[in-house]
């Protein structure tokens, strides 16, 4: 998968990339659902079966039928073109709602877009699906923003009082072969004085 900067103006580029590299002819089931019309603009002929990430397209409910024009414009900053989403966001199909919301959100600072987003009442799961492209993955990082991985070596950036023990780990202590705490990106585990302890990532520097 391509990695893009976390910039709202680029949210759909990754999806366009995924589509172009996972091309599928538009299915009969999707054509029937959309009556052969694009599910965003509602006027042009549907030509493209577009999977709304992070879904994998196993079911037609995860797809949107697009015309070539709407598909091409996903990559462009053409806010006026997307006035059609004022209608499509009211679609009875969740995938169409999610993609409409996702594209509109890119222009959320425009008054007319803000009005649409404020007035629409979508299911919370649909909104989360729509905003998935904007979310930054949570990762363990040291005090200087370096990404930590299992097995890394770190250095303590300050003296640490180790709870439940009678010693203090001094600044500069090297901790080898750390283990990431799976449910908390602010914590790692490491061995100091032969004891495995939990260390806050904000107090370490990647070695």
Q: What is the CATH number of the domain that holds 158?
A: 2.30.30.40
Contact by Cβ (8 Å): 175, 148: no
Assigned token pair, 78:
């053409």
Structural domain contains residue 148: no
Question: What would the pLDDT profile of 67-76 be if each residue is shown by its tens digit?
Answer: 999 999 998 8
Claim to verify: residue 118 and residue 52 sit in the same structural domain: yes
What is the reported pTM? 0.62
143 domain residue, yes or no? no
Q: Please check whether residue 144 lies inside any domain of the structure.
A: no
Between the two ends of the chain, the Cα-to-Cα distance in Å is: 28
Angle of helix 94-105 versus helix 111-119 axis, rounded to 10: 150
Say if residue 36 is in the same domain as residue 112: yes
- 167 and 116: one domain? no
Q: DSSP 3-state helix, strand, coil percentages of the chain (rounded to 5)? A: 35, 20, 45
- Please check whether residues 195 and 167 belong to one and the same domain: yes
Structure tokens at 119: 């007035």
Virtual CA dihedral for 178, 181, 185, 187, nearest 10 degrees? -60
Q: Percentage of the chain surpassing pLDDT 70?
A: 87
Q: Of 101, 134, 167, which one is at a domain's C-terminal end? A: 134
Cβ atoms within 10 Å, residue 186:
13
164 and 114 in a common domain: no
- Number of domains the chain contains: 2
Residue pair 46/66 in contact by the 8 Å Cβ criterion: yes
Instruction: Quick: pLDDT tens for 26-68.
Output: 899 999 999 999 999 999 999 999 999 998 888 999 999 999 9
Q: In this structure, are 70 and 102 located in the same domain? A: yes
Q: Domain for residue 3, yes or no?
A: no
d(CA 10, CA 55): 19
Residue 145 resides in a domain: no
Same domain, 106 and 14: yes
CA distance 207 to 191: 15
Q: Are 39 and 72 a contacting pair, CB within 8 Å?
A: no
Tens digits of residue pLDDT in 74-86? 988 889 999 999 9
- 127 with 182, same domain: the answer is no
Whether residue 98 is found in the same domain as residue 44: yes
CB atoms within 10 A of CB 115: 11
Statement to judge: residues 14 and 77 lie in one domain: yes
By residue range, what is the domain housing residue 22? 8-134
């Amino acid at each position: 998968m391509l990695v893009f900067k976390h910039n709202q103006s680029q949210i759909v580029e990754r999806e366009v990339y995924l589509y172009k590299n996972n091309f599928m002819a538009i299915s009969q089931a999707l054509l029937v659902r959309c009556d052969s019309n694009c599910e965003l603009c509602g006027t042009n002929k549907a030509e493209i079966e577009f999977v709304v990430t992070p879904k994998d397209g196993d079911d037609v409910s995860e797809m949107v039928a697009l015309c070539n024009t709407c598909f091409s414009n996903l990559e462009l900053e053409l806010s006026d073109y997307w006035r059609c989403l004022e209608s499509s966001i009211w679609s009875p199909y969740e995938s169409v709602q999610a993609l409409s919301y996702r594209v509109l959100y890119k222009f959320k600072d425009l008054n007319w877009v803000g009005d649409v987003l404020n007035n629409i009442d979508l299911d919370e799961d649909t909104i989360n699906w729509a905003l998935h492209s904007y979310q930054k993955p949570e990762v363990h990082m040291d005090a200087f923003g370096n990404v930590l991985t299992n097995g890394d070596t770190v250095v303590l950036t300050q003296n640490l009082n180790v709870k439940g023990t009678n010693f203090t780990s001094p600044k500069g202590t090297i901790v080898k072969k750390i283990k990431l705490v799976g449910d908390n990106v602010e914590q790692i585990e490491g061995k100091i004085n032969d004891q495995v302890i939990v260390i806050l990532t904000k107090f370490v520097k990647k070695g």
